[in-house]
Structure 1
């Protein structure tokens, strides 16, 4: 409900305005009155009314002087001048002070109603825009941690990162050196055959322990889940001696292995990349750490439990240019959503001319093929799909052993990806029906919450525009219209029950801005909540 303050030195005018203004009909209420500009200024500063109706000629301080002071003090409410003077200079100064209307005395009831309807509608529109801006800012703040995690993930895996982007200050990466540890947790003993949910909980427990050990070691870190592996980025200031940093990191890795075995009965294998003096080279350390983990060369004698990357230890010169970690991550993301075209593009990119993958030896391609399907199996297992039932590991190993050369391997991998996507992707019509049904159910269950179409698009792995089209085709309404209709129907039920205040009802159906809610309610029902309540 909007508030109004009236400033006029004529008591008859003050009394007349009180009688003339249709308060309930316009959903406005008085907050006070004053008889001169100075008194009016104090009233407005104290009550902060949405609308001020004022005369010009008053004692102590006239109306224009009062308005000028209000504007200097950043008063943003609506101001209506009601004066018996129609002097052009007054009107020009009122215009400069951004007065919303200039009415002659005496003003008719219809004129007053018309002006107040217009300014309250403008207030409602402005309030709605401000509310949307606040929601957008809040949404951006909510997404900020997610965006930061995705940015870090791209840096760590070698994904596309703008050359102009910089690490968030909060990370403390400036003037630091970095080293990556790759962790592989083996399913054995009591972990054999446990559910995907329990496996994730177990990984979560291991991750918590690893992060606690990092903190005890006095190292800063970023923890990242990669497929069925984990990765921990360690970093120290550049001023710290490099060899000392290496010893700390490898000693920490040994403690991780020991603690996981002792307290969780989990066998960990850890690979360590080399130290990098620039955050742009972190992805190289990631690749090195996973390469050390996959090749399982003799551990460092000083740190016998950790596989440490050794420069020049590759069996193929082209191996240095291959980015399997990035390849695995992008392939897993594509197959998770059964996006065959995207998966094939990832495969082509992996074998681009300058990439080096085409020069890999047969045994290296075989190892990458085995790892790729282990990762895809883990990725789909999260969705309840047992890939090993469709493509048994023994059959894959046998096929891989007969694959000769990079081109044949690429053809073989493409066939497998196509088979997975065609075999497990839901039927399009059924999938679309299930998607729309999910959206409808979600709206009815979460209508009081602050969510948008993009939030649902993120949940179902469909672009926002395409999802909007599917929803409109299925329901005949846009997503926004349907959500508003559900909220208004819920609001109508609450208004009819007469148990809650209008502000409470607005909040319970997802609107913190009461005027905006009132505007939508009137548009939907033809009456304001108050009128509907009294009907």
Structure 2
């Protein structure tokens, strides 16, 4: 049984979670709950759970800081953020801390069960890897064990890895990426490596082949260090088989043993050929990338695209950002962060404006797919495909929902885009949708049960609460950021909405 814990200052929330999932049937046991951040850290130390559902807004220590503390000690525990706050800054920080997902309250039963099933698969896979690693226990490091556990082929069909490695004079690391389609399955990788080993210029002195994944393998040479002709032959071989190959070469001596230092560094090295089409041979002495963050006006563009159900302008911006990254040789890690940011923002927009159950395609952001990608072109294709799929799903849902629900969706999206404008009005929303003001207000009230301006006020007040608790901005600045020109008018409306003045709310949050 895997151990699961809940952290939320409202007991009813984790009571609902307990009832919504058949935990024991799925292989989980609820072992603890906590109502504040400090209690959560103590619970984690005591119980060492496999899975934690964590609220963000907690007394004493907020959820993000709690996660940061846990991550300093343990990178493996599965953490899912559950929050009523939809501000992207929360999700962005949570992603940087390595959370598995970010769920917006209220969470549907189906969505929660899908998330638990996904995490169960991850935990099961980790257990299998640990069992395999135990089969190859040795005096070196865990990284070494991981590599040996993944060996699936070597030159003579036997597997005495320590003897081989201690006699290696050179080691090639290859990162492969498909020129078309996805990475090769394991059977295809074995076929490719066998074909590579049969090439005369490559096979001379070749003693060992490590297959780590569908994109990474090692070639070990014991008799002679391969020359430039061998490197070019490897690149040509994989290119003929629709793969680009990056090669990193280490010349090994007895003084550099244990070899695990080299393997560990090479295994985690950011691929230098990310922007290259066909691959090349690389030296690791000089880091070739710029650590420059990509900044783009995503928020407004995404909301506008959702309101109009037209992703073309968003895809055009992405194309420009990828071209900029290639031209300026921006770190692949930062470009991958940008890609994930785009998908998270779209996911939040879909959840905010339409029924969560409708958008299956955006529930799994495939973070591992993004960060495992070794090619700029493949990453761009993946990102654009996911965006197109999301908008196709949106179009299908809106057509199925009917004219009234479509109007509500577009009106809510438009409000998200314009609520910070002091001149925003109901008439502007009606004009945007293309119907009269009177018909729009009655239709909106019929479909949602509240007036449109009540919804706009809710948006403004929710944003005000987030700004008051996450920034040191003055009350006047907060008022202007959410569309109020008068600080007095904002304060009066905020107290009417929350029962507290802005200052009091800030002091007690």
Structure whose CA Rg is larger: 1
> Do they fold alike, i.e. is TM over 0.5?
no
Q: Which has the higher helix share?
A: 1
What is the TM-score normalised by the length of structure 1? 0.26
What is the TM-score normalised by the length of structure 2? 0.27
